[in-house]
Amino acid sequence: MLGLTRAADRVAPSLERSLRPSWPRSVCRVDEARARDVASCFLSAHTDRTHALVRTAYVQLQAQSDRQFAILTDQQGQYGVTVVFSRCREPYGSDRELIDSVRATGFLEVTTAAVDRDRLHPLLDCGVGGVYDRFRAVHDIVGHVATGYGFDRHGEYSAWLTQLASYRGLAGWAAATELHAENSVLWTTQQLAEHKAVLLDPELLTPLGLTSEHRGANSSEEERL
């Protein structure tokens, strides 16, 4: 469907690695104890909008996610996914329905973050079709549709590890907050996490796939953009 299971000549190499065919893809099982530590670290953290490293990481995350969104939704490109942002809170009845539907039709409906007015992101625009919505669309396409991973704790963990290959520099560290930390809170507390702009303790994340490059060891000015 839409070339999502084929390597693409037009796509950026980092995104191509995430969409590279590997069937069936093995699900990576999350370490429950470490997930609780990640959740605890996130819950005790506080957003600091003025922290230079945090802001740089989220600028990178926004820029790189938007590039991926543009590639995935280019109607003249390899994938040509049509994304619509709506206020329907449950456009799909299950993870399987979303995956099968997008693979069959090339159409993805994403619930806009704007519906949760009390749960807006402190740094990523949550307007309809805004930065956060586009980021979530990329996650659905790369992390779930292309891989077949479900929405359970192990599927979301595997989707995050897959997406790490598509982020360079500090963007990967910020993505760990958005894709692994928030889901760890959900797994351990059964409650949606408050959105925060934070960078978690790298010691918690390094064994899970975060590299020194994601932590800024190679964050040149070019990487920031």
Model pTM score: 0.85
**DSSP 8-state class, residue 208:** G
Closest CA to 15 of 3, 1, 27, 28: 3
Tokens of 176: 């760990």
**DSSP 8-state class, residue 207:** G
| CA–CA dist 165, 71 (Å, integer) | 16
Q: In 3-state terms, what secondary structure has residue 46?
A: coil
Q: Which secondary structure element, helix H or strand E, spans residue 110, and what is its range?
A: strand 107-111
Q: Which distant-in-sequence residues (6+ apart) come within 8 Å of 91 by Cβ?
A: 98, 109, 110, 111
The type of residue at 127 is G
Tokens of 220: 């040149």
Q: What is the pLDDT of residue 202?
A: 84
Q: What is the pLDDT of residue 8?
A: 31
Degrees, nearest 5: CA angle 36-60-135: 65
Alpha carbon 24 to its chain centroid, in Å, reads: 21
The structure tokens 């009390």 sit at 118
Tokens of 147: 């891989």
**Per-run averaged pLDDT (10 residues), the chain, 225 residues:** 40 60 72 93 93 96 97 93 97 96 96 96 97 98 94 94 90 95 96 95 74 54 37
Q: What is the pLDDT of residue 20?
A: 60
Q: What is the pLDDT of residue 111?
A: 98
Q: What is the pLDDT of residue 221?
A: 36
Q: What is the pLDDT of residue 49?
A: 85
**In angstroms, how far is the first alpha carbon of the chain from the final one?**
31
Tokens of 159: 């989707």
Q: In 3-state terms, what secondary structure has residue 186?
A: helix
Tokens of 15: 């995104």
The structure tokens 């290959």 sit at 165
Q: What is the pLDDT of residue 187?
A: 93
Tokens of 100: 């099968």
Q: What is the pLDDT of residue 6?
A: 39
Tokens of 58: 């989220």
Q: Which secondary structure element, helix H or strand E, spans residue 84, and what is its range?
A: strand 82-86
Cβ distance 143 to 163 under 8 Å? Answer: yes
